[in-house]
Amino acid sequence: MRSDLAVEGMTCAACANRIQRKLTRLDGVGDAQVNFATGRATVFHDAEVADIALREAIESLGYLAPAPEDSDHEAAEQAHEAELWRRFVVAAALGLPAMAISMFTALHFDGWEWVVCALVTPVVFWSGWGFHRATWMNIRHGSTTMDTLVSMGTLSAWTWSVVVLVFGVGAAAGETAHVYFETSAVIIALILLGKWFEARAKRRSGDAIRALADLGARTARLEDGTEVALDDLAVGMRFLVRPGEKVATDGVIVDGQSAVDASMVTGEPVPVEVAAGDEVIGATVNTNGSLVVEATRVGADTALAQIIRLVDEAQGSRAEVQRLADRVASVFVPTAIAAAAVTLVAWLTLGHDTDDAFTAAVAVLIIACPCALGLATPLGIMVGTGRGAQLGVIIKGGEILEDTRRVDTVVVDKTGTVTEGHMELVDTLGPAELTRMAASVEGWSEHPIAQAIARSIDEPLAVESFENRPGYGVVGMVDGDEVRVGRRLLFDEVPASVEADAAAAEAQGRTAVLMGRGARAEGVLVVADRVKATSGEAIAALHDQGLSVTLLTGDNRVTAESVGAEVGVDRVIAEVLPDGKAVEIRRLQDEGRRVAMVGDGINDAPALAQADLGIAVGTGTDVAIEASDLTIVTGDLRAVADAIALSRRTLATIKGNLFWAFFYNGVAIPAAALGLLNPMIAAGAMGLSSVFVVTNSLRLRRFAGYRGPSTSGAPS
């Protein structure tokens, strides 16, 4: 089973790794993932392992793991951010005058060192208390974190300065040796400022999921006008939705007609026309007409609740690229401490002044803080998956990002994915009055094609003496005329013009239904599963990303090739039985292709599971969605292009974060060891590296996709 635990008190990726190691060593625990950015631990364990045992294991390391009823993650984040700001303000208020006095000889006066000591000491021991407390706690458990480097560097500078001031160690005759009080204060102030920016950005990166949670209505108005809390709404209840109001929960319209704005859930900018019989999603907005809706899903079963759950799980996951960062972070701090010690010894051995040797060693300690490294991956995943949710794209985990990057072939199902998924009358070739008569007769038949024709008129004519002739068609009397609708065999005479119209429709993969009065055919009704208006744009967008697109369907080859030509796919595989779709996917994989499968039906589930990347159209079945890696909430196929583009953009951002984090440490540590960076500059550079990673990740919030205001060219 799975448990999700809130963890408070983590300060860097090393903390997350330490908790993760502790949890995975527990009996009955199969795997554990601890995410520093989200402040959450996800543990997979046997049923006999209680959550309280997991929380006790975390708290034994000195962190907090409150029970769900006691945990308010957003409030805790805000409180932590406010605490960092208070400690920074004190550090800046006391540290700036201390730095000014120390750096400008014009401000020196008798005993100025003692004044600076008095100013800096509260900064070191109050503003920097969090670093020292975490260091002591970690030492007790035989581990180190980023806080260890900050604590050691600032305490070393303060302690050395006190020793110099009190005992005159290192001073030449008649002089006072250099003190580093201001260095400790400035380091703490800069790091607190960087951590405040980091905390603020992390909270902003979670805005997407919080915004989703806030979308839902709080109450529902029943048919009798009674207003009830959303928690009291049950399946089967009917509620009213007036113009401008949110739909309370998922349901089906039983009365009324309107346009529903579903952009906040699906990412589609244009309201969708709905009427009786259509399904609506909770939290969408009714724009003009009044609706009566019967609830079909409530609470945790609603589409919005499932989206929030999937995004939350994705934000707690790890991408494959995180493994390298985890391994580095686990050894980075002790390596940095060793590097600082080697720097100190080397400088002293080479005959440099104690002041210079000490300065270089402290700079190494400060510059080595791996904050940026710890934030690089989780923040990218948080912002990317959050933005995806706003666009109606649900990325189920960080590992999916790697799979998306490798995909070179996209296989799309036809019915319900490229097409609308239901038959409709798309053309009439014959007298308008006869068309109305034929549609009226078809209304008496239960056949799907007959119903598609019947739906083309609003007010059917009266029909008498209806007769269904299986395999041929239907016959009925309308206004005294015998009206026949069906196959050629139903008529004794089919004029050449009618035959030509029917043949032309069938050549395009459509269904031709003949109609006439009496035994003579007079016209053709053309029925088809209409291609979605945006499918062609979607295929072009996939091509724009360098992907090959294959249409896979169980439909006949003529129809499949007609649809494929209309939308511009590269290849058509037709007449495939449901259990053969997975076989076709495997065959493409055997050719060396990395395949993404897009589908919406139960018969697509095996193929979605077989594919390297399964993408479910959210308007389809729950079985297909569960079998997929990515889900698009809307039925717009362009969202598939958005999903792949966003996944690739997110992965590229993460890799960019990791590159610059490694590059920063790779260049800065040797520079500090060589004395090219003093501790204050090192602290500023360390803070800026974290801010860079944060801001680079937040750029994903501006991703617009192919369904944005401008749908031409690459996504913005």
Residues in a beta bridge with 275:
257
Catalytic residue among 147, 312, 403, 413: 413
What is the per-residue DSSP string for 623-659? Answer: HHHHH-SEEESSS-THHHHHHHHHHHHHHHHHHHHHH
Asked if 144 and 334 touch (Cβ cutoff 8 Å), the reply is yes
User: Is 492 one of the annotated active-site residues of the chain?
Assistant: no
Please tell me the distance from the alpha carbon of residue 23 to that of residue 17, in angstroms, as a whole number: 10
Q: Please count the CA atoms within 13 angstroms of the CA of 598 that sit on its side-chain side.
A: 35
CA–CA distance, 70 with 165 (Å, rounded to integer): 49
Residue among 608, 36, 592, 66 at smallest CA distance from 316 = 36
Taking the C-alpha atoms of residue 267 and residue 215, their distance in angstroms, rounded to an integer, is 13
- Amino acid identity of 687? G
Q: Cα–Cα distance between 152 and 188 in angstroms, integer? A: 12
Name residues whose C-beta falls within 8 Å of residue 136's C-beta, 6 or more positions apart in sequence. none
Q: Under 8 Å CB-to-CB from 256, ≥6 apart: which residues? A: 275, 276, 289, 290, 291, 292
Alpha helical stretches, state H, 141-206? 146-167, 181-205
Tell me how far CA of residue 561 lies from CA of 358, 541, 556, 572, in angstroms.
Answer: 76, 20, 9, 6
**CA 110 from centroid of its chain's CA atoms:** 61
CA dihedral angle for residue 662, residue 665, residue 670, residue 673, rounded to 10 degrees: -160
d(CA 503, CA 509): 10
394: left (phi over 0), alpha (psi -120 to 50) or beta: beta
Let me know: does 412 contact 329? Beta carbons within 8 Å: no
3-class state of residue 704 by DSSP = coil
CB 62 within 8 A of CB 10: no
Instruction: Kindly compute the dihedral angle of the four CA atoms of residues 496, 499, 501, 507, in this order, to the nearest 10 degrees.
Output: -130
Closest Cα partner for 247 from 236, 234, 261, 268? Answer: 261
Helix (H), strand (E) at residue 565: helix 557-567
Q: Helix (H, G, I), strand (E, B), or coil: what is residue 388?
A: helix
Cα 190 to Cα 196: distance, rounded to the nearest angstrom: 10
Burial (Cβ within 10 Å: 0-12, 13-18, ≥19) of residue 234: exposed
Crossing angle (nearest 10°) for helices 354-367 and 679-698: 10
The sign of the torsion formed by the CA atoms of 277, 278, 281, 285 equals negative
Token pair for 438:
């034929």
- The vertex-160 CA angle with 158 and 161, nearest 5°, equals 65
The residues that bridge with 425 in the sheet, in sequence order, are 527
List the one residue out of 61, 42, 32, 15 whose CA is nearest residue 329: 15
- Distance separating alpha carbons of residues 86 and 78, to the nearest angstrom: 12
Helix or strand (DSSP H, E) at 682: helix 679-698
Residue 46, classed as helix, strand or coil, is coil
| CA separation for the pair 426, 259 (Å, rounded) | 23
Question: So which residues are the catalytic ones?
Answer: 413
